[in-house]
Amino acid sequence: MNTALFFWIHQWRGEWLDRLVVFGSVVGEAWNGLILLAVLLLVPRWRVLLRSYVPAYALMGALSLGMKRAFAMPRPPQALGAQVHPVGPIPDSFSFPSGHAMFAAMLLTWLWPLATRGQRALLLGWALFIGFARVNVGAHFPVDVAAGWLIGGLVGWAVQRGKSASGMPLQ
């Protein structure tokens, strides 16, 4: 089922879609979290958010790298060969879980208590799009993305829960 769903999503092609999913892969890159860290440092009224963002980002990164090494699952081009037609560069690291999906879900759940209804819809749409993009470009299987969403969501939730339990304001 994982492979069948991969091919169903991966088959969608078109010049505009290819550009869009490559863009999604770039903006969904977990290393962009360092850009967010810089923004939080530069905007004085947002610095309070560092107390929860830094642990969430660090834990997410450690889990992503540790799980990739522990499971050592190949990416679709390595597992399926010439049947996969990658769009853009595909990392040569392991596939499971998707760090892009993990970062998107961590941000979604971390920012959820601070966001308006419209912002929540945008965050959710962005996280779903990042997952779709990673499968469509051929970088991940759907199970990689689902695991990334689950783990990232749990990390963001746990940090927010710890923050509210400590008496630290969520907003």
- Contact residues for 50 (Cβ-Cβ < 8 A; gap 6+): 37, 40, 41
CA distance linking residue 54 with residue 33, whole number of Å:
10
Question: In this structure, what token pair is assigned to residue 114?
Answer: 């601070």
CA distance linking residue 109 with residue 159, whole number of Å:
9
CB 157 within 8 A of CB 139: no
- Quickly state the pLDDT bin for 166 (edges 50, 70, 90): very low
Distance from the Cα of residue 38 to its chain's centroid: 19
- The string of pLDDT tens digits covering residues 100-147 is 999 999 989 988 887 889 989 999 999 999 999 999 999 999 999 999
- Contact residues for 159 (Cβ-Cβ < 8 A; gap 6+): 52, 55, 56, 59, 110
Output DSSP code: residue 69. H
Residue 74 phi, psi (nearest 5): -70, 155
Name which of 1, 25, 16 is nearest 136 in CA terms. Answer: 25
Residue 137 phi, psi (nearest 5): -75, -10
- Contact residues for 106 (Cβ-Cβ < 8 A; gap 6+): 56, 57, 60, 152, 153, 155, 156
pTM: 0.85
- The string of pLDDT tens digits covering residues 8-39 is 998 888 888 888 888 888 877 777 777 777 77
